[in-house]
Amino acid sequence: MSSPTAAPPDFAVISGAQVDRVLGGRHREVTGIIEAAYRAHGAGDTVNPPSYFLRFPDRPSSRIIALPASVGGGIGVDGLKWISSFPENVAAGLPRASAVLILNDPATGYPLACLESSIISAARTAASAALAADRLSAGRARPRRVGFFGVGLIARFIHAFLAGTGWEFDETGVYDLSREHSEGFAGYLERSGAPGTVTVHESAEALIRSSDLVVFATVAGEPHVEDPAWFDHHPLVLHVSLRDLAPEVVLAATNVVDDVEHCLKANTSLHLAEQRTGHRDFVHGTLYDVLDGTLRPPADRPVIFSPFGLGILDLALGKHVYDTVREAGELSVVDGFFHEMRRYG
Mean predicted confidence (pLDDT) in 210-223: 95
Q: 6 pLDDT band (50/70/90 cuts)?
A: low
For domain 12-120+311-333, say whether CATH 3.20.20.70 is its number: no
Q: Which residues of 296-334 are buried (b: 16+ CB within 10 A; e: fewer)?
A: ebeeeebbbbbbbbbbbbbbbbbbbbbebbbeeeebeee
Nearest one of 79, 83, 80 to 53, comparing CA atoms: 83
pLDDT at 155 (0 to 100): 96
User: Where do the domains of the chain lie?
Assistant: 12-120+311-333, 122-306
Q: 5 pLDDT band (50/70/90 cuts)?
A: low
Q: 173 pLDDT band (50/70/90 cuts)?
A: very high
Q: 284 pLDDT band (50/70/90 cuts)?
A: very high
Burial class from Cβ neighbours inside 10 Å (0-12, 13-18, 19+) for residue 294 reads exposed
Res 343 pLDDT > 90: no
Res 68 pLDDT > 60: yes
Alpha carbons 119 and 101: distance in angstroms, whole number: 11
Res 2 pLDDT > 60: no
Instruction: Report the predicted TM-score, pTM, of the whole model to 2 decimal places.
Output: 0.93
What is the percentage of the chain residues whose pLDDT exceeds 90? 85
Q: pLDDT digit string (tens) for 225-254? A: 999 999 999 999 999 999 999 999 999 999
For domain 122-306, say whether CATH 3.40.50.300 is its number: no
